[in-house]
Amino acid sequence: MNQLQGEVISAVATSSNLGDYETTYEGFNWKDVEKEFSWYETGKLNLAYEAIDRHVDAGRGGRTALLYSDATRDEAFTFEELQHLSNKFANVLRDTGIQKGDRVFVFMPRTPELYVSILGTIKVGAVVGPLFEAFMETAVKDRLEDSGAVAIVTTPSLLSRIKRNELPELQHIIVVGDEVEPGEGIIDFKSAMAGASSEAEIEWVDREDGLIIHYTSGSTGKPKGVYHVHNAMIQHYYTGKVVLDLQEGDVYWCTADPGWVTGTSYGIFAPWLNGATNVIRGGRFSPADWYETIQKYGVTVWYSAPTAFRMLMGAGEDVISKYNLSSLRHVLSVGEPLNPEVVRWGLKVYGKRIHDTWWMTETGGQLICNYPSLPMKPGSMGRPLPGIEAAIIDDMGNVLPPYRMGNLAIKTPWPSMMRKIWNNPAKYEEYFRIQGWYISGDSAYMDEDGYFWFQGRIDDVINSSGERIGPFEVESKLVEHPAVAEAGVIGKPDPTRGEIIKAFISLREGFEPSEELKADISKFVKVGLSAHAAPREIEFKDKLPKTRSGKIMRRVLKAWELQLPVGDLSTIED
Ligand code: 6R9
């Protein structure tokens, strides 16, 4: 049990939009949220319309929707401008014959063109597949292949990572760049956009029609395509209102990339559905840059991750004192456990409570949160939102009493719940194996006030800097290296990144352990899979612990690493 759970920071001087809804569990009705959209009457909808065009139709088209900057660009777009640009892109897609339900991927850095592409794709009813720009060949191919993507939007520098000859279903590559080399199936974004009309018919879809597929890592097998539908917007809108606390005039900054679910649900959908001004900062993290961004735009609501807050903490208070951060009203965090230490530091240096929020790719939106009006217990994820019922259950489905550790589970359904795992119904069923519940894969306990406390992942998924990495994917890449016989990968606790990837490796005959070899193996994963999946630590072993069925026992590797008892070894090989 967490010794800190006696500590409570009360809600001070924060407003809360929750008052707009019935906040008891009995009285809450999602229909009250839906009624704020016109499609409540028509039944036909499109998230991109509700996020962008609706504001134009309501006379708010001149408001700033997007404030973008990186090392070389500094641009602003109104809702009306985004409406026109996304219409143009919708027309570009339609000209190629892309239709409702087709999968269109985006694989590029955070730039205005990325956001325009995502909105335009949704407008034609196609399903967006966002890929993080650091993905390398194999990772890109696996995802395009599994989803049967017909088109991808990318940049000239990323183009070579798309293995077209191995992807028969991929017909169109839309390239965003100054000089685009012509080729079969290649569309030059700039010239196509220049020639496209800024008016487009929106594809009105049903609430259960596809919106987005986010690939995420599990502990075994290839990444899973988590499929969400337009209906999710109810949850995006609601949580944007009651958890992000978005209000008229807010300047909101979510630091996540759309390659991860936070970067779409809360980097695109929630803020724009609520009509907020959305700040997008391109490029890589640097503390001075980040504070400069807050100061420059007068950011009022800031959503980031523990790993970033810990890095900012590590950068010290000198850098903070150089900037005016007084615009900040509300600060939030997601992705991994938010250390109480960080909450206390935030209170000291920003004068704000950093609000932890818990949810997953599969849940599509926030579920357990420290919403603004809730007294905060640092170290806890908060409480289920009104409309959401959570519990700790055992493997049989029994609800456990307070302080008992078990499976963190959510009563089904809720509006943004995933609707399938692409091509893999069996995987989908696993999450719902206990009647009436979604099993998250996290373990936690609940205290007597209904606050939830995260304990860990039940599977072996690694969480490094807030990114989920499946050990299997990394191990599979490692064994492709000519020197590697076998590999087992674990998450090793790290003060800044939460966990780092550590690989235990046995070498093939004829190879000798060396520092150079470690560096070479790590680079091999970096180049072959992605930078964030590369092991930061490698240890060579003569032999790895395995079960009789040949599975590498990661829990034994973890016990070695942490110098803990190894536990039950009844299934070990010898
Ligand atoms: C949104 C997102 C989901 C996993 C989840 C859990 C961990 C997320 C957390 C947290 C402790 C929090 N996680 N939020 N752990 N406290 N507030 O992160 O989605 O990338 O799918 O990761 O991340 O383990 O199961 P995703």
CA of 203 from ligand 1 middle (Å) equals 33
Rounded Cα distance between 255 and 210, Å, is 25
Q: How many CB atoms lie within 10 A of CB 558?
A: 18
Ligand 1, atom 22, lies closest to the CA of 360
Task: Quote the pLDDT of residue 405.
Answer: 85
Give the domains, in start order, of the chain with CATH numbers.
45-57+72-229 (3.40.50.12780), 467-562 (3.30.300.30)
CA of 180 from ligand 1 middle (Å) equals 38
What ipTM does the predicted assembly reach? 1.00
Q: Does a cis peptide bond (omega within 30 degrees of 0) precede residue 545?
A: no
Q: Is 262 in the pocket of ligand 1 (CB under 6 A)?
A: yes
Rounded Cα distance between 370 and 385, Å, is 9
CA of 359 from ligand 1 middle (Å) equals 6
Q: What is the pLDDT of residues 194-247, one digit of tens each?
A: 999 999 999 999 999 999 999 987 666 678 999 999 999 999 999 999 999 999
Q: Is 337 in the pocket of ligand 1 (CB under 6 A)?
A: yes
Q: Is 78 in the pocket of ligand 1 (CB under 6 A)?
A: no
Q: Is 418 in the pocket of ligand 1 (CB under 6 A)?
A: no
CA of 465 from ligand 1 middle (Å) equals 11
Task: Quote the pLDDT of residue 1.
Answer: 39
Q: Which atom of ligand 1 is nearest to the CA of 265?
A: 1
Q: Is 267 in the pocket of ligand 1 (CB under 6 A)?
A: no
Q: With residue 225 as reference, give the H or E element that holds it.
A: strand 224-229
CA of 76 from ligand 1 middle (Å) equals 32
What is the best residue among 244, 468, 499, 532 to mutate for testing ligand 1's pocket, by most ligand atoms within 8 Å of CB?
A: 468
Q: What is the pLDDT of residues 109-150, one digit of tens each?
A: 999 999 999 999 999 999 999 999 989 999 999 999 999 999
Task: Quote the pLDDT of residue 288.
Answer: 95
CA of 220 from ligand 1 middle (Å) equals 18
Residue 174: beta bridge partners? 153, 187
Q: Which atom of ligand 1 is nearest to the CA of 262?
A: 1
Contacting residues for 171 by C-beta, under 8 A, at least 6 apart: 96, 150, 151, 185
Average pLDDT score over residue span 54-72: 97
CA of 308 from ligand 1 middle (Å) equals 15
CA of 442 from ligand 1 middle (Å) equals 9
Average pLDDT score over residue span 268-286: 96
Task: Quote the pLDDT of residue 2.
Answer: 41
Q: What is the pLDDT of residues 468-507, one digit of tens each?
A: 888 878 888 898 899 998 889 999 999 999 999 999 999 9
At residue 331, does pLDDT exceed 50? yes
Extract the tokens encoding 60: 């708010």
CA of 485 from ligand 1 middle (Å) equals 32
At residue 105, does pLDDT exceed 90? yes
Ligand 1, atom 18, lies closest to the CA of 335
6: pLDDT confidence band, cut at 50, 70 and 90?
low
At residue 290, does pLDDT exceed 90? yes
Extract the tokens encoding 65: 């929707």
Three-class SS string for 251-285? Answer: EEEECCCCCCHHHHHHHHHHHHHCCCEEEEECCCC
Q: Is 50 in the pocket of ligand 1 (CB under 6 A)?
A: no
At residue 568, does pLDDT exceed 90? no
Give yes or no for a contact between 219 and 459, defined as CB atoms under 8 angstroms apart: yes
Q: Is 463 in the pocket of ligand 1 (CB under 6 A)?
A: yes
